[in-house]
Amino acid sequence: MASSTNQDTTPPVADQRKNLRAPLVIQKILIGSDRPVFFGYSKSISRSGIFIATSNPLKVGDQIDLQIPLPAPISQTVKCCCEVVWRRPISKKLPFEPGMGLKFMNMPEEISAQLQSWVEEQN
């Protein structure tokens, strides 16, 4: 994911990402925090983070608790704290859908390793 110095309308630069990503469509990602709970959906995931498509992205630096249903063979819902590292608001001038890039803050290493293996198999 790109650094938190990105401006709101600057999309992340793919070659700045540390980890390989794979498309993963999850229709409902439960995001809980001190704000009202809302659902977003995922478009891609890596061992270090996830993109959540939403028309109401949170602010860079916000931390949220996330519940993510992971694909087979992992096949479990994992809960972790994430930090918003970039956001893309709705804009008619951008060809990309709105959302936010989240960095996993406390993803268990075992799950991170399983995610990495799954992503490699998808690519």
DSSP string, 47-75: SSEEEEE-SS---TT-EEEEEEEPPTTT-
pLDDT number for residue 35: 59
What is the predicted pLDDT for the residue at 14?
44
pLDDT for the residue 107: 94
Number of alpha carbons in the 13 Å side-chain half-sphere of residue 53: 12
Question: Are 41 and 98 within 8 A, CB to CB?
Answer: no
Q: What is the pLDDT of residue 105?
A: 96
Residue 31's Cβ-count burial label (10 Å; 0-12, 13-18, 19+) is: buried
List domains and CATH numbers for the chain.
Answer: 14-122 (2.40.10.220)
Q: What's CA 101's distance to the chain center, in Å? A: 5
pTM of the model: 0.75
- Region 41-46 average pLDDT: 84
Please give the pLDDT value at position 1: 43
> What token pair was written down for 32?
């809980």
Residue 96 — very low, low, confident or very high, per pLDDT cuts 50/70/90? Answer: confident
